[in-house]
Chain A
Amino acid sequence: MSYIKKSPWLVHYDGSSCNGCDIEVLACLTPLYDVERFGIVNTGNPKHADIFLVTGGVNTQNLPVVKQIYEQMAEPKVVIAVGTCACSGGVFHDCYNMLGGMDKAIPVDVYVPGCAARPEAIIDGVVKGLAVLEEKQKALAVPVREKQALREKELEPEMAISKSQEAGK
């Protein structure tokens, strides 16, 4: 039984968005949407968070900030890019200082498009992120040696094909 799905704490960072998505993120906490019913808590501390919710794209100025927040979070962690800017850079993608979407800085697990993304879409994205979070926790629980064995097992059919090809030559 994994408890991480029942108590996802998230940290929210606004990259270079227009604030539209941030307002929608905060709207999720209001009585109308009340994400706390799923145990979701908006912490201000990356060390306590399981989910990194980023809005806005990444530019040269916020690149180190985004990376630092990501590195301070404890495993298992998931990154959710909220809004078109976070997904691809959006309307800002041609700016001289923009690097693009959040995936240019850190590995993103879930993309929530929309300008601005609706609260329903954000909640849906977080729920999708929970599945990824559980998978990551399972992967972390498996020791390295077993992981290698699993990988070899997965590769077995391909190895057999390549061997038969070699034999055919």
Chain B
Amino acid sequence: MSEMVLNIISGIAYLILAPVIGGLLAGLDRKISARMQRRVGPPVLQPFYDFFKLWDKQPIAVNEAQRFYVFGFLLFVIISGLFFFTHGDILLVVFTLTMASVCFIVAAYSSNSPYSQVGAERELVQTMAYEPMLLLMALGFYLKCGSFSIDTILKAPSMNFIYMPGIFVGLSFILLIKFRKSPFDLSMSHEVHQELIRGVITEISGRTLAMIELAHWYENVFLLGFVYLFFAWSAPWSPALAVLMCLFTYFSDVLVDNCCSRVKWEQMLSSTWLVTLVAGFVNIMFLMYMR
């Protein structure tokens, strides 16, 4: 009973704290990126300023349906995060996340702007690229811990990372796509002053754009939760290590973002599938037959 109460509390904490943490991470990202480019950079709270500004802007929509789809995106991201933080089923989390990206893609397709259409296609290719790895990750956790339940995964007797390093490498690779970092920021880059690589949100402005930002913050926090699962086990001090590893993963993604140039979509698809096949699949084979 008390476990259920704890789960509900962590769910509510996610609802309230995830946007704050996500926004701060985004602010730190911009600050660190600026320092890497020898600039001063914006204040750490800049993403929040942007968000509240966008919230107050005049609403313009080319297609009214767009707002509904974007709301669906936000809703499904929040729901999949809730499944995660209330220690639900990891497969359910992955599938609900897919629903969220479907909503986002449909939102981009709902306007006739060519940039928006190309952006939607690129987003679709990105989803194709990262989805197999997410499923392999869920499968890996099942093979290691004997259950899809996040509760059981967190109570594992030993560190999950030791048994699934290949899957971790694959996950870190596709996290670049999900965090929208170079070299895989094809559809919604953080870098502005670009038409094609911000295609998905070309026709989205004002409050709807603010909703996408919010969804992105929620998404980033629970994707780092996946990293957390690799480094948390029954040892009492392991959460500290896991949080540190989450921060390290985020920092290294920022570093990679600043070091790499953008690749073409074919290269993105082939490289992610190659990494998924080599690192992920070999690791799964090991878990199935060697253990």
Contact = CB atoms under 8 A, between A and B. Distances in A.
Chief secondary structure at chain A's binding surface? loop
Interface stretch (A2-10, A93-101, A115-123): A2-10
A43 interface: yes
B193 interface: yes
Given A3-B56, A47-B202, A39 B34 contact: no
Given A37-B41, A38-B42, A47-B204, 7 more contacts: A7-B53, A31-B37, A36-B42, A37-B42, A48-B205, A74-B206, A76-B58
B264 interface: no
Interface in B37-55: 37-43, 46, 49-50, 52-53
A5 to B, nearest CB: 9
23 contacts: A3-B49, A3-B56, A6-B46, A6-B49, A7-B46, A7-B49, A31-B37, A31-B38, A34-B34, A34-B41, A36-B30, A39-B46, A39-B49, A44-B192, A44-B195, A45-B192, A47-B60, A47-B203, A47-B204, A74-B58, A74-B206, A75-B57, A76-B58
Contacts of B112: none
Contacts of A38: 42
A34 B34 CA distance: 9
B195 A45 contact: yes
B34 A36 contact: yes
A53 to B, nearest CB: 12
Given A31-B39, A44-B194, A45-B195, A74 B53 contact: no
B58 A37 contact: no
A137 interface: yes
Interface residues of B, number: 31
A75 B58 contact: yes
Chief secondary structure at chain B's binding surface? loop
A3 B53 contact: yes
B36 to A, nearest CB: 11
A59 interface: no
Interface in B149-207: 192-195, 198, 201-206
Contacts of B198: 44-45
Contacts, number: 77
**Listed residue (A41, A43, A47) with the most chain B CB atoms within 10 angstroms of its CB:** A47
Contact of B193 (A43, A50, A74): A43
Given A7-B53, A31-B37, A44-B194, A39 B42 contact: yes
Contacts of B94: none
Interface string B132-151: 00000000000000000000
Contact of A36 (B41, B60, B206): B41
Contacts of B125: none
Interface string A11-34: 000000000000000000001001
B209 interface: yes
A84 interface: no
A37 to B, nearest CB: 5
A42 interface: yes
Contacts of A7: 46, 49-50, 53
A7 B45 CA distance: 11
**Listed residue (A31, A44, A45, A75) with the most chain B CB atoms within 10 angstroms of its CB:** A45
A36 B53 contact: no
Contacts of A75: 57-58
B53 A6 contact: yes
Interface in A38-80: 38-39, 41-45, 47-48, 50, 74-76
Interface string B40-84: 111100100110110011111000000000000000000000000
Nearest to B203: A47
A34 B205 CA distance: 25
A140 B57 CA distance: 10
Given A44-B193, A47-B202, A75-B58, A4 B42 contact: no
Contacts of A44: 192-195, 198
Contacts of B34: 34, 36
Contacts of A6: 46, 49, 53
Nearest to A33: B39
Nearest to B62: A47
B270 to A, nearest CB: 29
